[in-house]
Chain A
Amino acid sequence: MTTASSEKKSRSWLKEEFGDPERRSAYYMVAPALVIILVVAFWPVAYSVWLSLHDSTITTLGSFVGFENYVEMFQNPDFRLGLYNTVVFTVVSVAMEFVIGLAIALAVNRAFRGRGLVRAAVLVPWAFPTVISAAMWRLMFSPQVGVINYVANTLGVISEPILSDDRLLLIGAILVDVWKTTPFMALLLLAGLQVIPGEVYEAARVDGANVMQRFFRITMPLLKGTILVAVLFRTLDAYRIYDLFWVLGNRELDSLATFVYEGVRISQLDFAPGNAAAVFIFVTAFLIAIFFIRVLGMRTSTEE
Chain B
Amino acid sequence: MASATATGQSAGRSALSSILFYAFLFIFVLVSVFPLIWIFKMSIITKSELYQTPPTVLPHSTNGSEYVQIFSDPSFQKALINSSIISSVTTVLCLFVGSIAAYAIARLRFRFRGLVMTLILAISFFPAVAIIAPLFIQFTAVGLIDTYWSVIIADTVFALPLTIWLLVAFFRELPVDLEDAARVDGATTIQAFRKVIVPLAAPGVFTTAILTFIFAWNEFLFANTFLFDENTQPVTVVIPNFASQYTVDYGAQAAAAVVVTVPLVILVLIFQRRIVSGLTAGAVKG
Contact = CB atoms under 8 A, between A and B. Distances in A.
Interface of A: 1, 13, 17, 21-23, 25-27, 29-30, 32-34, 36-38, 40-45, 47-48, 51, 58-59, 103-104, 106-110, 112, 114, 116-140, 142, 144-145, 147, 150, 154, 179, 183-184, 187-188, 190-192, 195, 211, 225-226, 229-230, 233, 236, 239-240, 242-243, 246-247, 250, 256-257, 260-261, 264-265, 271, 274-275, 278-279, 281-282, 285-286, 289, 299-304
B276 to A, nearest CB: 6
Interface residues of B, number: 107
Contacts of A183: 32
B134 interface: yes
B51 interface: yes
Interface stretch (B60-68, B71-79, B151-159): B151-159
A240 B131 contact: no
5 contacts: A25-B188, A26-B110, A33-B97, A136-B36, A240-B128
Contact of A139 (B39, B54, B127, B264): B39
Nearest to A248: B240
A30 B101 contact: yes
Given A34-B116, A123-B276, A301-B285, A278 B21 contact: no
Given A58-B137, A139-B254, A37 B268 contact: no
> Does more than half of chain B's interface fall in helix, strand or loop, or is it mixed?
helix
A275 B135 CA distance: 12
B42 interface: yes
B282 A145 contact: no
B217 interface: yes
B100 A29 contact: yes
Given A139-B250, A139-B254, A300 B286 contact: yes
A134 B240 contact: yes
Given A131-B239, A188-B279, A246-B240, A118 B217 contact: no
A19 to B, nearest CB: 12
B101 A33 contact: yes
Q: Which 10 A-B pairs have the closest CB atoms?
A: A191-B280, A29-B104, A282-B130, A129-B218, A44-B134, A33-B101, A44-B131, A26-B108, A240-B127, A121-B29
Nearest to A258: B129
B198 interface: no
Contacts of A300: 118, 121, 286
